[in-house]
Amino acid sequence: MFDARPWGPAAATGIGSMPGTDVRETARMVLETLPALPFLPELPARGPGADMIGRTIGLLPDLHARVEPSGWRVADRPGRDSRRARDRLSEDLDTLEEFTQGWSGALKVSLVGPWTLAAALERRNGEAMVGDHGARRDLVAALAETAGDIVATVRRRVPGAKPVLQLDEPSLVAVLRGRVPTASGYRTHRAVDRQEVEEGLRRVIDAAGVPVVAHSCAPEVPFALLRRAGAHGVSFDLSLLTEGEYDAVAESVEAGTTLFVGVLPGDGADPAVLSDPGATVMGVRSLWRGPGLSPALLPESVVVTPACGLAGASPAYARAALAHCVRAARSLADNPE
């Protein structure tokens, strides 16, 4: 067994993507700013292979892909694009290892979840893998193996780490609702059965063998499905949550699920949102009061985050936003009511 909350109470973290191309400076900043739950940053501005889809594809065993104008597409053999993805991740891990000498604690790494990956990765005919049952099955199996491998890699490179795996699933609801467009754009792929979706997620989560956080910055996050699949935490954008979803959130909290609550916009368009940490988490307190959750549960059950990745913001805003999340988490713990 493992500690499902190795980050401790009153924690804050980031989602994953960050602005710029400086791997060393970004990793150093994240480790300094987020003492409870730092993460391995993604820097998509470096180009294909540094984005979340490319990074995950570069790790998949026996599955090769190349970049097409429409996105990533399965290829017959390793090529420049998949090699570049692996090289960039290796560089990121080298940097992380260098800056964590003698360090110990929770450390978060990310993979794209099986259903967002199935919606994004194209078969050779240009259609998404989500439209083919056999392709979906093979992708889940490959990703389950990858989940175990990346956790083992983190443990080897950072012996003091307590790994946490984040599965990025922004397209999960689109897969469940049959909203993933076909290559022509005129139709959508048929919805995938909820049982298959749940079982696919469970297989990847079980293979990781560490706390797993499912992240989606889209509306209508399926809290109950993610809980049944074994997710230990659910990461979401609080501004997209409706009152009709409060009961599902409460059920998750009472079942022991940690809420990674996104409270800050990721684009940095309005720096004034960073002026008052207490005001930033007022919505979290409202979320708690709505279904009558015990305030005593709040410090351990909530991790404060930006609403989504910060790749579209300036480096200055990204740094300030992460520091603000730390202060907001402390404010929430000091005054949960």
pLDDT in tens, 212-241: 999 999 999 999 999 999 999 999 999 999
Q: Closest by alpha carbon to 66, among 114, 110, 124, 17? A: 124
Q: Is the pLDDT of residue 45 over 80?
A: yes
DSSP string, 265-294: -SS-S-GGGGS-HHHHTHHHHHHHHTTT--
Nearest-angstrom CA–CA distance, 224 and 8: 24
- Describe the crossing of helices 80-99 and 133-157 by its angle, rounded to 10 degrees: 30
The amino acid occupying position 320 is A
Q: Is the pLDDT of residue 247 over 80?
A: yes
CB-side neighbour CA atoms (13 Å) of 279: 5
- pLDDT tier at 78, thresholds 50, 70, 90: confident
Nearest-angstrom CA–CA distance, 307 and 108: 17
Q: What are the helix (H) ranges across the chain?
A: 23-33, 52-57, 80-99, 114-120, 133-157, 172-177, 194-208, 223-229, 246-254, 277-280, 282-289, 298-301, 315-334
- pLDDT tier at 2, thresholds 50, 70, 90: confident
Q: Is the pLDDT of residue 266 over 90?
A: no
Place of tokens 């922004």: 170
Whether 175 contacts 114, CB under 8 Å:
no
DSSP state of 188: B
User: Could you tell me what percent of the chain has a pLDDT over 70?
Assistant: 100
Instruction: Give the pLDDT confidence score for residue 176 in this predicted structure.
Output: 97
Kindly report, residue by residue over 182-219, the tens digit of the pLDDT. Answer: 998 899 999 999 999 999 999 999 999 999 999 999 99
Whether 130 contacts 189, CB under 8 Å:
yes
- pLDDT tier at 139, thresholds 50, 70, 90: very high
Instruction: Give the pLDDT confidence score for residue 269 in this predicted structure.
Output: 74
> Considering the chain, what is the average pLDDT of its residues?
94
pTM (two decimals): 0.96
Instruction: Give the pLDDT confidence score for residue 162 in this predicted structure.
Output: 97
Question: Which helix or strand (DSSP H or E) is residue 216 part of?
Answer: strand 212-216
Instruction: Give the pLDDT confidence score for residue 77 in this predicted structure.
Output: 83
Nearest-angstrom CA–CA distance, 280 and 264: 7
Instruction: Give the pLDDT confidence score for residue 302 in this predicted structure.
Output: 97
Q: Is the pLDDT of residue 262 over 80?
A: yes
Q: Report whether CATH 3.20.20 matches the domain 23-334.
A: yes
